Amino acid sequence: MCASISGFSKLSKSKKIDWIVETYFSNTEDAKRILKQYWNSNDKLQQLHDEFIENTITNYYLPLGVAPNFLINGKLYTIPMAIEESSVVAAASKAAKFWMDRGGFKTKVISTTKIGQVHFMFYGNPETLKNYFKHIKSQLIYDAKPITKNMEKRGGGILDIELRDKTHDIKGYYQLHASFETLEAMGANFINSCLEQFAKTFKNEAFHFDAFTEEEKQIQIVMSILSNYVPDCLVRAEVSCKVEDLNEDKTISAEEFVTKFIQAVNIAEVEPFRAVTHNKGIMNGIDAVVLATGNDFRAVEAGVHAYASRNGAYSSLSHANIENGIFTFWMEIPLALGTIGGLTGLHPLVKLSLELLHHPTAKELMQIVAVAGLAQNFAALRSLTTTGIQQGHMKMHLMNILNQFEATETEKTTLIEHFKTNVVTHSAVVEAIHQLRMKN
């Protein structure tokens, strides 16, 4: 019978584990063994991981792979990718090699503006509120100087603050809509600190604004928080070449391949059911690099999918066309990333990943991450429009199935050879393992 517990967070890690295994698991020793086998033998390193979050009981591993041969703006990269899904790293690597021989990826950062909002309620005269905002705007920026002075020295800071009337959506609802430049930092803590100071000044100074009635002085601050929707923090990545240069697959002509490829992209532009899966493939590449470099992949995911819906319907993030015999495949995507702050200076593998990428600036990392997404998308669409997605994916998935059935090294060698010429399906692998073991 499961039971609630008080004071769990105050228990030692060992005591937390004791309670968990005794409450939830029938084989307590086996459960405890599994949890502890993922602890790092280096006590200092394990403590670092323990302190990343609350109530840590063990580490959860993801493979960290690399995809070499990415030529981006004339510079070669090997890109780190933290992901559990088979075929993603292989597909990205294959696309990188394909485009390295055709001029590589071209990228540029379009803009780097980030957004934060103070959400508040005001039920008085809108014109009086507008006058109050004009009166207080410079004070909002001035009162935040202790927070912004170091960022301003580096060239960043508060770009602007607007008053936005949202009463057509919710009665009495307004926003202070602020834009920021945070340079090498993703900037969440900086932005939130500024917003909370804006809210404090905005609320307190209202009591001294003579044009307000006593009721109007009672501005209700609901919350102050950054937005992970960053449509003005944009990066573009693209590849292009002559149509006839897309002739690597001898089973299909370059012209037929390009026609089907563009049709596949066009379908994702108009069909949301396809667009979601299409964009998920892009995020396979993006999330893997975002995670490897210690950035917030959940924030990136939320912002990207909102951007994919910006025109009123969910649509493809990538686009393709042919003009004057030149095939171009491109994507513009919002990415709020940082190379300082958070895990970037704490997690040893994150620091290693950033060094692998030549210690990129935040703008350079935006471009690298966008390229990883575009490469993954190209690889997926090439498979879908030629051999089909399962042929390559299931061959990569073969090892997972073999490990699931605890295949020996000898069995793996035999079965890998067998499936070089046979279709890989879960049932086919299970049958092959069974037949092999029957012979032995």
CB 389 within 8 A of CB 383: yes
Q: Is 323 exposed, middle or buried (0-12, 13-18, 19+ CB in 10 A)?
A: exposed
Question: Angle at which helices 272-292 and 254-270 pack, to 10 degrees?
Answer: 100
Burial 288-303 (b: 16+ CB within 10 A, else e): bbbbbbbbbbebbbeb
How many Å from the N-terminal Cα to the C-terminal Cα in the chain?
A: 45
Tokens 């006839």 locate to: 244
| Pair of tokens at residue 346 | 């704490």
Backbone phi, psi, residue 43, to 5°: -60, -40
CB 377 within 8 A of CB 268: no
Q: Where are the beta strands (DSSP E) in 86-156?
A: 106-109, 114-121
Q: Which residues are catalytic?
A: 85, 280, 296, 393
Q: Where are the beta strands (DSSP E) in 56-210?
A: 64-72, 75-82, 106-109, 114-121, 157-165, 173-181
Backbone phi, psi, residue 362, to 5°: -60, -40
CA distance 376 to 331: 12
| Pair of tokens at residue 216 | 């109007």
Helix or strand (DSSP H, E) at 149? helix 145-153
Q: Residue 129: count other Cβ atoms within 10 Å of its Cβ.
A: 22
Rg (CA), the chain: 27
